[in-house]
Amino acid sequence: AQSVTQPDIHITVSEGASLELRCNYSYGATPYLFWYVQSPGQGLQLLLKYFSGDTLVQGIKGFEAEFKRSQSSFNLRKPSVHWSDAAEYFCAVGYSGTYKYIFGTGTRLKVLA
């Protein structure tokens, strides 16, 4: 069955530290991969997406993610976290020929001043 796993429910980092949020998916073919961010009380906003080409993709707010087919992973990274990055982050997978997504359960990021 298709699935998306975000193994870290909560992550706490200090402001200025680097960040990596993990995402693994289960699917037989190459999926379309997304990271969304949700600030408190808000809807979700797209950070970045991958569907072909360069496996390292750049997004908004200084985020990047790398698609690793061999590991079925699409981890999100940021070299230096800002306090405003505190939010919940969702990895999602879309599949060719369908409009549907599968979302991970989310990782809540806390940033220490």
Partner 1 sequence: IAGITQAPTSQILAAGRRMTLRCTQDMRHNAMYWYRQDLGLGLRLIHYSNTAGTTGKGEVPDGYSVSRANTDDFPLTLASAVPSQTSVYFCASSAERGWGEQFFGPGTRLTVL
Comparing CB distances to partner 1, the nearer of 45 and 71 is 45
Alpha-carbon span 54 to 81, nearest angstrom:
24
Comparing CB distances to partner 1, the nearer of 15 and 103 is 103
Alpha-carbon span 1 to 28, nearest angstrom:
10
User: Among candidates 100, 113, 110, which has minimal Cα distance to 21?
Assistant: 110
Alpha-carbon span 3 to 28, nearest angstrom:
11
29: contact with partner 1 by CB under 8 A: no
99: contact with partner 1 by CB under 8 A: yes
Residue from 17, 46, 60, 112 touching partner 1 (CB under 8 A): that is: 46
Alpha-carbon span 4 to 103, nearest angstrom:
6
Comparing CB distances to partner 1, the nearer of 63 and 90 is 90
70: contact with partner 1 by CB under 8 A: no
59: contact with partner 1 by CB under 8 A: no
Tally Cβ neighbours within 10 Å of residue 57. 20
Give the binding site for partner 1 (CB under 8 A): 6, 9, 32, 34, 42-46, 49, 51, 90, 92, 94-101, 103-106
